[in-house]
Amino acid sequence: MSRIDVNHVWKIYPRGNVVAVQDLTFTCNDKEFLAILGPSGGGKSSTLRMLAGLEEITKGEILFDGKVVNHLGPAERNVALAFESYALYYRLNVYENIAFPLRARGMKGPEVDKRVKFIAELLELTPFLKKYPGSLAGGIQQRVSLARALVRKPNVTLLDEPLSHMDQRVRHEIRARIRHLHDELGLTTIYVTHDQAEAIALCDRLLIINEGKLQQIGTVEEVWNRPANKFVAYFIGEPTMNFIPAIVENESSVAIPTEEGKRVFTLEGRLGERHVGMEVTLGVRPQHIEVKRERQDTNAIAGVVKVVEFQGDKTVLTVRLEDEMQTDAKAVVPAQERFAEGDVVWFFFAPSVIRVFEGDTLVL
């Protein structure tokens, strides 16, 4: 319901001088679903808590619809927050827990009832309304916590790992409903998770954060196809992106040194003149590799199959490449293609799927 701007925000915890968030700047548009993704301890929750007003901002500004909210408390910011630890009111039953934020803001009887029942139905909580949270399983408690956050129409809905304690089946179900509710009610949602599948399934845009620093923000396609740096490339995608050391031949090709010489790969775009002769890292997603049995002369490198993982709908091959570093690379092939350990295969990289990193940073 609001546009959120985060401008050069820092969070430094005085105890131990821990820098949790460093110079973070991003925008979450009105009605956008933004997922904040990153490893544990990366600053995701600190960011969310600063947005909620539960944590003081050390430096920088947070704006809701263009107005600075730094000095406002959580109640005045009108945010909804689902805690990872549920934080339910154990003396109230499920119904009253969900109704709590409505009543706290002065809403009365029938309207409260309507909203609570609607959200309870949606999150499959109707049978539990009369129960007390203490008697419910973790996953159900988490749904109650989620219901309490979603029952309102706040400026922004903040969800901190709201599905982490649910069963796999329920998780998928609820995930879809969160997105549905977001669209239906026109919410602005910021969703913190360390599960990339969840983030990719839900969000309009992804924000990747590591060690308190923004790594990249963009749509799933952008982040997937053009990861800003090695961390993002490694963090997004399963199996993770392959990294192979190489040397720049000229502005449009690179070479991977091998025992018996080198393998040359042509690239889609052009590198800068200064890159020629430089050591770089090639990044190729396992899903983008074409695995051939016959020798390939261009844009290919040979290797020996080490591990074959059959995963039902696909097979993941781990191959020791013939490059000087003997890199282990993974490739995803259709399940019907049979490979065995010890097979010699050729990995073909189409020019369009090769990413080039200089140090940690993407250059092509």
Partner 1 sequence: MKILFWLVTALVLFVIVAPLAWIYLTAFKSPNDIFTTEARKLIFFKPTMENFNRLFREFPFWDNFVNTAIISVSSTVVVMVIASFAAYSFARWNTGKGHLLFTTISTRMFPGVVAAIPFFVMYRNLGLLDTRFGLALLHIYFNVSFATFLLYGFFKEIPVELEQAAMVDGYSRVDIFRKIVLPLVRPGLAVTAVFCLVWSWNEFLFSFLFTRVAARPVTVLISSFWGSIEVQYGPMAAGAAIVILPTLVAAWFMQRYIIRGLTFGAVKG
**Residues binding partner 1 (CB under 8 A):** 52-54, 73-75, 79-81, 83, 85-91, 100-101, 104-105, 134, 148
Task: Name the nearest CA neighbour of 96 among 128, 65, 55, 64.
Answer: 128
Residue 69 Cβ vs partner 1, minimum distance, rounded to whole Å: 14
Q: Which two tokens stand for residue 191?
A: 């969703």
Residue 74 Cβ vs partner 1, minimum distance, rounded to whole Å: 4
80 vs 364 by CB, closer to partner 1: 80
Residue 336 Cβ vs partner 1, minimum distance, rounded to whole Å: 49
- Residue 20 CA to chain centroid, in angstroms? 18
149 vs 206 by CB, closer to partner 1: 149
Helices (H) and strands (E) in the chain, counts: 9, 21
Q: Residues 97, 146: contact at Cβ < 8 Å?
A: no
159 vs 244 by CB, closer to partner 1: 159
Give the torsion sign (CA, 330, 331, 334, 338). negative
88 vs 214 by CB, closer to partner 1: 88
Task: Name the nearest CA neighbour of 50 among 20, 89, 88, 17.
Answer: 20
Backbone angles phi, psi at 222, to 5 degrees: -60, -50
19 vs 92 by CB, closer to partner 1: 92
160 vs 323 by CB, closer to partner 1: 160
DSSP 203: -
Any idea what the Cα angle at residue 315 is, between residues 202 and 174, rounded to 5°? 20
Sheet holding 189-193, edge to edge: 79-82, 156-160, 189-193, 33-37, 205-210, 213-218
Task: Name the nearest CA neighbour of 42 among 194, 205, 217, 202.
Answer: 194
134 vs 261 by CB, closer to partner 1: 134
